[in-house]
Amino acid sequence: MQSQGATVVLGSGGARGLAHIGALSALDELGVPIKAIVGCSIGAKIGAFYAAGITPSQMQNQARQTTWWQQAKLFWPDFSKSGITAGKRIEKFLYKHLGHRHIETFGIQFVCVATDLGTGEQVVLNTGHAVSAVRASISMPFMLAPVIIDGRMLVDGAISNPLPVSIARTHCQGPIIAIQAHGTEFVQPHARDTSANRNMIQVYRRTGCLMQWNIAQAQLRENPPDLLIAPYAPGIDTFDFHKADISLAVGYDAVMTRAPEIIKLVAHKRHPAITGHSR
């Protein structure tokens, strides 16, 4: 595994989370070594792909080729007992890219987070079957049926830790760069949405976004990263994966805008000031 470099935290965000691919592309272009990925929900999926050796360029090409209909088929209702879909098509998609690999075989350290539906606790997944771990982390309540791992019923990690910097602090080393793709519209000037014409699904998605934002802000006050980057993708809703170009671009641009800070951070952590006595 990569022994030196940064730990990158990729948060939740649905289609906005495609910004993570652009961010990883920019980090690679800047020559930033990545030694660990900690992901939640869409960040877990993209992080697992990256840790497994799939390049940002490959992910970008796939994202750009995804049509609305292709995305809809992944979530096509089969009305399972505990979700609109049991998630079999999504699992097939994950197997296509990750196969039957275990997390321990990845080239860089990978950790993702899910939520125990019974206790409400966050569950850290850093060993074992990669597809099962990612599938648990992306299990959006109501939409995707939960996943059972070690006797625990697991749902979306965004419910307990949408931007898992705290997990990066306890499980990984190196400077932490966090990419927050969800809720960034709440801090943009003139971005307040006061529409009274929302349908039921739009209200559900907006409520979920607000919940994730508030949880993340509280947790960031306790566990701030060394650098927080928040790409803003205007007009992108949770399931707008067919609008990939917008999210990819804002993720790339958000990292490049902070390039001097990133390079300084990684260089400082790689070569810290020497103190004390040499041995």
Q: Which of 129, 125, 124, 137 is nearest to 102 (CA)?
A: 129
48-71: burial string, b at 16+ Cβ within 10 Å, e else: bbbbbeeebeebbeebeebeeeee
Residue from 41, 137, 160, 247 carrying the catalytic annotation = 41
78 as an active site residue: the answer is no
**274: helix, coil or strand?**
coil
Residue from 156, 166, 226, 240 carrying the catalytic annotation = 156
CB neighbourhood size of 137 (10 A): 30
Q: Cα–Cα distance between 248 and 257 in angstroms, integer?
A: 14
Q: Which of 168, 165, 163, 182 is nearest to 231 (CA)?
A: 182
116 as an active site residue: the answer is no
Q: Cα–Cα distance between 36 and 176 in angstroms, integer?
A: 9
Inter-CA distances, 90 with 114, 150, 201, Å:
17, 21, 21
Q: Cα–Cα distance between 229 and 251 in angstroms, integer?
A: 9
Report the alpha-carbon angle 42-156-117, nearest 5.
Answer: 170
Inter-CA distances, 254 with 51, 136, 137, Å:
22, 28, 25
Q: Which two tokens stand for residue 265?
A: 């951070």
Question: What is the radius of gyration, based on Cα positions, of the chain?
Answer: 18
Q: Which residues are catalytic?
A: 41, 156
